[in-house]
Structure 1
Amino acid sequence: MYVYLMKNEKPLNEELIKRHVEYLKSLKSQGKLVLCGPFTDYPGGMVIFLAENLEEATDIAKADPFILSGCKTFEIRTLEHANEENKYLLEV
């Protein structure tokens, strides 16, 4: 699981927002989108998604219209889902 954290660099317009939403919908239809949304306390947002490896994850982030347009920059992070199986949610 990966996260790309976006930071606003330039103003967005309605057409660009529509293309971004369509991109997210395509990730969802492929079963890759986990969660996404804007931050309320920081100028940017994030997309949590599934990818086979860091290279694919980076390609997915770079293909987002917000990134392609230069209106947002991004950082990518690898996220390990905490659960009972990996013992991250066991009681101590």
Structure 2
Amino acid sequence: MKYFAVILTMRDEEKNRSFRPQHLAFLEQMKQEQKVVMNGPFTDGAGGLVIYAAHNEEEAISFLNQDPYIVNGARNWEIHEWALETNDNFQF
């Protein structure tokens, strides 16, 4: 399994507000399916980050293209394969 960091930047604030509930429900479903590792908004309001687990970039993009924010033009996106490195001493 590979990991892909997707940066979602603001494209349309009105659409962002309108589709936020559907976006959050989508992310929750993807977490349950173990396709989203983690996600969260940037504190400055510029957008957010989603880490997808996928076999390859094409699969990650296929997941991303189901996100209501993307489907409805609320956010722009940028994707990068991400090498997950853990710190065994770190605890949330």
- Interval of TM-score (by shorter of Structure 1 and Structure 2): 0.7 to 0.9
Greater strand share, structure number = 2
Q: How many pairs were matched up?
A: 83
Structure 2: which 5+ runs fail to align?
88-92
Q: Who wins on radius of gyration, i.e. which is larger?
A: 1
Q: Structure 1's 62 and 81: CA in aligned 2 closer, same or farther, altered over 3 A?
A: same
Displaced runs of 4 or more, over 6 A: none
1:79 is aligned to 82
What is the DSSP-based 3-state SS (H/G/I as helix, E as strand, rest coil) of the residue aligned with 1:50?
A: strand
Q: Distance in 1 between matches of 2:46 and 2:25?
A: 21
Structure 1 unaligned spans of 5+? 85-92
Normalising to structure 1: TM-score of the pair?
0.82
Instruction: Report Cα offsets for 1:31-73 as digits up to 9, x if no partner.
Output: 1211101101351101012011110011111211111111101
Hey, what does 2:44 align to over in structure 1? Answer: 41
Q: Kindly tell me: are residues 83 and 64 of structure 1, through their superposed partners in 2, closer, same or farther at Cα, counting changes over 3 Å?
A: same
- RMSD, aligned α-carbons: 1.5
**Percent of pairs with identical residues:** 30
